[in-house]
Amino acid sequence: MAEQQIKGYQAGTFVIGNRLLDPEERSVQARMDRSNTLTSGHRACRGCGEALGARYALDAAMRASGGRMIAANATGCLEVFSTPFPESSWRLPWVHSLFGNAPAVAAGMAAAMKAKGREDVRVVGQAGDGGTVDIGFACLSGMFERNDDVLFICYDNQGYMNTGVQRSGATPPAARTANTKPVGAEPGNVFGQGKDVPAIAMAHGIPYVATATVAEPRDLEAKVERAMGMRGARYIHAFVPCPLGWGSASEDTILLARLAKETGLFPVFEAEHGEVTAVSPIRRRQPVTEYLQRQKRFAHLFAPTENSEVIERIQAGADRNIARFGLLAGAEGP
Amino acid sequence: MLEQLEGSQAVARTVAACRPEVISAYPISPQTHIVEALSDLVRTGDLDPCEYMMVESEFAAMSACIGASAAGARAYTATASQGLLYMAEALYNASGLGLPIVMTLANRAIGAPINIWNDHSDSMSQRDSGWIQLYAETNQEAADLHVQAFRLAEEISLPVMVCMDGFILTHAFERVDLPTQDAVDSFLPAYEPRQVLDPAEPVTIGAMVGPEAFTEVRYLMHAKQLQALDAIPAIASEFEDSFGRSSGGLLRGYRIDDAETVVVALGSVLGTIEDAVDELREQGVKAGALGIKCFRPWPLEDVRDALAGAQRVVVIEKAFAVGAGGIVGQNVRLALDGLGIRVHDVVAGLGGRPITKRSLRSLFEDVFADRLEPGVLHFLDLDREVVERELERIRSHARPGPHAENIVRELGIVAARPH
């Protein structure tokens, strides 16, 4: 029998099964003692990327902090589906104040811990893309600039999903939302200049900035663990597909998150003090159409006729990311 | 200890004596001297342990106080005017969450037109935000009210706004008996939060509440404010026992017992009003004054009792509800419902216009001569000619231009005119 070459991934998933790993190397999610920080029973949609992302990130942060952690949450899906009072899915001390102030609330919590001599208690702030890149942006920038001891996590699902799928500053070009419908001369969201918040975070020179997707939980966990090992302002921008808002199949959440990375549309990297220190290379490069075609929000690009001009502009954006971050180093052919 | 010092310094040093653990503030005139002084005290280590957060906006200032307070720290901020409006969303959140944050409000007008001087438009705009509102008459009272405010806030778990007139008090040098550290320490116990973000006992704070319970939750906020109507005089009385002077409380009457005409007002203007009352008394007029020390909660019964013997009430207020009338006046009428007492609403001191004894004297002459129509909002020292000319300009010009600029152009350089 010919020797079979083992690739580091199973067909179509790229994920190494946990059972092949030494117990110490297994993901936090694979451990019996994970904290289930966002526990079951909440009201997120089937296939919600944000619920997954929050669970991965916070369980890793809880593990890193030895369970000594408190969280501030912005208004949004994550807040609404987790806390329909008197129910709560949070198994850590958690406060929700407003939509636009989670970074400032978290900064106040960190100041309180410092004043009380309880710096062993770590502070995490979290919001969706609306609460981070739009309405919470001033508070986020202030928190960065002061280098407050907060890990802030943005779960980016590229729109205001909680209010009925409206466009945010993180919505990609051409995407259909409730207020960027595929009507008129330029169907879908306009091609703006973009709002690259990870890059803006890096421009503040804060100790740590990273991007990650829910397709690679071990990578997300490792970045959270790394961030929790540092002090000062840290930022993780997690890409979390939204089946409801994107018009994608709920079982495709992980696939879409992976395709966002493998097409180059969402570069996955780490940076310290404003300099990129590591990138996650593309393993099998995919054309953006592979990603776009699986989402109804881009359906107008393919029917009734294919809008190749817009698709090429989107591809060009992915190509720019690939060149800028050197994402093809070590890529395998399809 | 008696000292001659600026009102802002008196407040800053008294706040420091209250041992706040987190101070978060954004600069806005006329609040700046207070937070500058506190920043100094944190930097030098005189106020330790305390974190001073230099935030990027008033919205962030209040939000950081919310986070700090929820995490169990005694939190303080100060603002004024536009800054209070910019934190409006967070004000409602702080009171809704029952967080005992204390804030100094250096009362200032709200634009447009932009105006940095004193009136009460800012605090009155947030009268229904769920914050307790106390008004200082003097710098001594401003200082004392902060000690009482922390005690009150933490006792009933609601945020408290100490309102002091911008510039008139904040920048005035007066003799103040500063509360000593020992005295404050024995009056104000360490903050014991009702609920706190503590890893040892995880709680969810700020969850969503639907129609099934929202009314009850809001009712409890109202009930807590009404509880404060008992707590405020009790704390003021205990303060008097400890510090040997009377400050705060709900109301303060001046020569009110047999008064037929009572002037109602808030804040620093009470001093001028009391002088005017003395003059009226010398002329044999039975006049008195009623200072509102606590506007929220509204001490309805106390106001009713205090004014029940009067024949006529003149409310002088430094803000008004545009298109409706007086704000304090409406509340006074509510308290006097059914008593048949005539209430005059007079707006005065807007945007820093001085309320002089001479103006008050002519106001009282109008009142006694029945020249002041009740139920109509009156504007003290309103320049009717200027207003009429501007109204005429609107009628006769298709594009009359901005009112503020037109009127200022007409008046010329104000500093060159005799006051």
Q: What is the pLDDT of residue A115?
A: 98
Question: Residue B306 has what pLDDT?
Answer: 98
Instruction: State both tokens at B176.
Output: 């103040």
Task: Give the model's confidence band at B398: pLDDT under 50 very low, under 70 low, under 90 confident, else very high.
Answer: confident
Pairing of strands B287-292, B251-254: antiparallel
Interface test with A, best of B86, B191, B208, B216 (most A CBs within 10 A): B208
Q: What is each CA distance from A183 to A177, A191, A305, B337, in whole angstroms?
A: 11, 15, 14, 59
Segment B3-22 mean pLDDT: 98
User: Tokens representing B56?
Assistant: 């990027």
Residue A11: per-residue pLDDT:
44
- Give A300→chain B minimum CA distance, Å: 37
CA distance A230 to chain B (A): 20
The residue with greater pLDDT, B398 or A7, is B398
Domain boundaries, chain B: 2-243, 251-379, 384-416
d(CA B390, CA A288): 63
User: Which residues are paired to A147 by β-bridges?
Assistant: none
CATH number for A104: 3.40.50.970
For the beta sheet containing B342-347, the strands, ordered from the edge strand earlier in sequence to the opposite edge, are B251-254, B287-292, B261-265, B312-317, B342-347, B377-379
Q: What is the pLDDT of residue B374?
A: 80
CA A221 vs. chain centroid, Å, equals 12
3-class secondary structure, A70: strand
Closest CA–CA distance from residue A121 to any residue of chain B (Å): 8
Candidate CATH numbers 3.40.50.920, 3.20.20.70, 3.30.365.10, 3.90.79.10; the one for domain B251-379? 3.40.50.920
Residue B305 confidence (pLDDT) above 50: yes
Q: Which residues of chain A have pLDDT under 70?
A: 1-19, 330-334
- Measured CA to CA, the distance from residue A84 to residue B285 in angstroms comes to 62
- The Cα of B55 is separated from the nearest Cα of chain A by a number of Å equal to 6
The CATH superfamily label for domain B2-243 reads Thiamin diphosphate (ThDP)-binding fold, Pyr/PP domains (3.40.50.970)
- pLDDT (0 to 100) of residue A113: 98
Of A84, A107, A117, the CB nearest to B67: A107
B197:A95 CB<8 A: yes
Report pLDDT for A193: 86
Q: Please tell me whether residue A2 adopts helix, strand or coil conformation.
A: coil
Averaged pLDDT for residues B316-333: 97
Residues of chain A with Cβ-Cβ distance to B159 below 8 Å are none
Determine, yes or no, domain membership for A13.
no
Read off the pLDDT of each residue in B323-349 and give the average, rounded to a whole number.
97
Beta-carbon separation of A112 and B22 below 8 A: yes
Residue A334 lies in a domain: no
- Would you list the DSSP string of B252-317? EEES-TT-SEEEEE-GGGHHHHHHHHHHHHHTT--EEEEEESEEES--HHHHHHHHTT-SEEEEEE
Domain that holds residue A246: 26-325
pLDDT at B416 exceeding the cut of 80: no
d(CA B19, CA B75): 9
Burial category of A111 from C-beta neighbours within 10 Å (exposed 0-12, middle 13-18, buried 19 and up) = buried
Distance of alpha carbon B388 from alpha carbon B392, whole angstroms: 6
* Range name among A200-214, A273-287, B387-401, B405-419 with the lowest pLDDT average: B405-419
Pick from A106, A114, A117: which is nearest to B67 by CB?
Answer: A106
Say whether A98 and B90 touch across the interface (CB within 8 A).
Answer: yes
Indicate whether A271 belongs to any domain: yes
Structural domain count of chain A: 1
Q: A254 in a domain, yes or no?
A: yes
Residue A334 is predicted with a pLDDT of: 45
pLDDT for the residue numbered B410: 80
**What pLDDT does residue A3 have?**
59
